[in-house]
Chain A
Amino acid sequence: MYKYFLRYVISVLFLLGISGQANAEFKVGFVYVGPTGDHGWTYQHDEGRKAVEAAGIKTTYVESVPEGADAERVIRQLAQSGHDLIFTTSFGYMDPTNKVAKDFPNVKFEHATGYKREHSNVSTYSARFYEGRTLLGHMAGKMTKTNVIGYIASFPIPEVIRGINAMTLAAQKVNPDIKTKIVWVFTWYDPGKESEAAQALIDQGADIIMQHTDSTAPVQVAEKAGVWSFGQASDMQRFAPKSILTSIIDDWAPYYVERSIAARDGTWKQQDTWHGLKEGMVAMAPYNSAMGSDLVKEVEQLQKDLASGKTHSFTGPIYDQKGNILVAAGSVADDGMLAGMNVYVKGVEGDIPQ
């Protein structure tokens, strides 16, 4: 009798165990906002996922999840189906991620580019893309003949404004005559619109095309028009072999592997990560030799200095468009200021759309 009872208890516990966690194996889930083949944002996250897989950890992904009511269900389904760590890789997943995290305290969540960490099992992470923009600005300032830099921007959020400012400051340093022309396309990913924007900027005299959108369309337009361009998120070199000077690469792989292993081994802790060139979360694709070996050396040195902290992208004195001082001479912008940046620096033309 006692034996029976024990067996019963054990089997119930076992059943509870597997229903609570459908699979005992450690699994990591990824939620993507675009298709894995966008060759930009989502593509790079998926490269990171593959690195996790290569480290011997099982992964799952769901792509093209709209940032609406559906996101919460997808995240919850991943949590429910036995995923132990879930990366949600778009800003719009911020609230759904926190909501689901509340109901699954044993599952760890990592939200990219957000700022809300409402529960102890939610971490946020992002990269200091602006450091890459500083390098781009340096190259653009040196390479432009028309002194017009064309910039395709997505949404007027701090990250994008930061990129425009960092690029402009660096370009002004080497070429005080440069002008930054900005076109807002209000999308992260629309090849048709992006290519029309690139063409419009080229027709307006820009001989450098920079993008803060994710498709490869702008670099293709630049290639056709014979002007310089820079890739975004991933190495877009093969889409525009002549035109691309370099690409800013989002390298999530080391972070994803590190966090996945930490979660598996039980050492995962909540944190807010903002990594840059130093940690390798922002990396630069090989520099195009067409810009000359002197400039390549200069940029490589600048990259080293940014990584080591010897140089900062936002070193004072920095003025806003009206000439008010933003960062005093001799000091650098702090992370709080960078995170909330919503004004243009002096030298950028036009207004931020409201």
Chain B
Amino acid sequence: MEALLIKVEKRNDVSPSIYFLTPVLAIFLTLIGGAIIFYVLGFNPIEALKFFFITPISDLYGLSELLVKATPLCLIAIGLSFCFKSNNWNIGAEGQLIFGGIVGGGVALLFYGHEGFYVLPIIILSGAIGGMIFAMIPAILKTYFNTNEILVSLMLVYVAKLLLDYLVVGPWSNPEGFNFPETRQFSESARMPILFDGLRIHAGIFITLATVFLSWLILYKTYLGFQIKVSGLSLKTAKYAGYKGKTMIIIVFVISGACAGLAGVGEITGPIGQLHRNISPDYGFTAIIVAFLGRLNPVGIIFASLVVALTYLGAETAQIFLQVPKYTGQVFQGMILFFLLGSDYLLFFKIKFLGLRKNEL
């Protein structure tokens, strides 16, 4: 019997070019996987991929929608990158987004009927604070009670969802809305300004871009960013170097929560304009894919958020034109992450082929 002898070695250094090429490889593999799925489902794979990835962005409106969709994803993923870089597994961004939406939406309802330039900034700020507060819960529990932040942040997602449900069905439901589970439409002063007539792209994109720039500054140009990265590499080293681990855990969660809260408030004051039960189609979870696909790097995350946003739009377009089932979008998102994580292996390990050897049985 013959066996292929393979030796796996840990790489000592990772070349940056491979580091950013593997996401491209993952996307390419996903396209191939997608083509196979389309073929199995009985669609022309090339045509289906065209409707999935090209048609949705072939006009101005489509591009604007892509940005509308990418805005919250990018914002949340940027926040998450702080957590993930420092080995804090905040997977409850969805909850922080919803809670930010609840607080921001509450303030918007409070200001119902008020006009004035100050209304929107207050709402945005309160949304960010809402997300922050909600993210503090797993952070504080982790630092002072040693609880697992993965599980706490995950549980809180459902608490936030049910709280939103309770509010829009009950106390906050539109008094003139015949008990439908939604609040009033916010006043004009509480809405994100639209950038171009006829398109939905709104001022929220500036918040996102500013956040991207700020986080790049923090991560690469400040001591705090250095601390975050070091503590992510090794907790022991970080402690040895005298960094205050506890404060840092809280800081990264606060940043991440604020970003998610901003994303939530951007959605309700932007394209939605009120609170109801479905303010987010799981942006908080999808953003985790974006963060990984973007390599936890601010610029990488921008590109990743556009790619993932496209899977949402593509799934709709493919259904309108080819009646492809809408869930292919989710399958694509799952596949991208699988392939990306899998190809990471190539990053950190060298595979050496040592030729064939005869095995004695």
Contact = CB atoms under 8 A, between A and B. Distances in A.
A and B touching (Cβ–Cβ under 8 A): yes
Q: Interface size for chain B: under 10, 10 to 19, 20 to 34, or 35 or more residues?
A: 35 or more
B316 A77 contact: yes
Given A63-B326, A186-B169, A103 B179 contact: no
B278 A91 contact: no
Q: Interface size for chain A: under 10, 10 to 19, 20 to 34, or 35 or more residues?
A: 20 to 34
A72 B202 CA distance: 15
A203 interface: no
Contact of B278 (A61, A67, A342): A67
B178 A68 contact: no
Contact of A81 (B279, B313, B320): B320
A95 B276 contact: no
B226 interface: no
Interface in A62-81: 62-70, 72-74, 76-78, 80-81
Task: Output the residue of A78, A340, A342, A354 with the most chain B CB within 10 A.
Answer: A354
Interface stretch (B24-32, B38-46, B267-275, B342-350): B267-275
Contacts of B267: 69
Interface in B292-330: 312-313, 316-317, 319-321, 323, 326
B180 to A, nearest CB: 5
B220 to A, nearest CB: 33
Contacts of B200: 72-73
Contact of B180 (A61, A155, A353): A155
A158 B212 CA distance: 46
B321 A95 contact: no
Contacts of A156: 169, 179
Given A68-B281, A74-B316, A81 B181 contact: no
A60 interface: yes
Nearest to A80: B61
B320 A353 contact: no
B211 interface: no
Contacts of A77: 316-317, 320
A72 B273 CA distance: 12
Interface in B115-152: none
A158 B320 contact: no
A10 interface: no
A95 B185 contact: yes
B320 A67 contact: no
Interface string A5-48: 00000000000000000000000010000000000000000000
A191 to B, nearest CB: 18
B334 interface: no
B198 interface: yes
Contacts of B278: 66-68, 92
22 contacts: A60-B323, A62-B320, A62-B326, A63-B326, A68-B280, A69-B270, A73-B65, A73-B313, A73-B316, A74-B320, A77-B316, A80-B59, A80-B61, A92-B182, A155-B179, A155-B181, A158-B178, A158-B179, A186-B165, A186-B169, A353-B169, A354-B171
Interface of B: 59, 61, 65, 68, 165, 169-171, 178-182, 185, 198, 200, 267, 270-273, 276-281, 312-313, 316-317, 319-321, 323, 326
The 3 closest A-B pairs by CB, nearest first: A69-B271, A68-B278, A156-B179
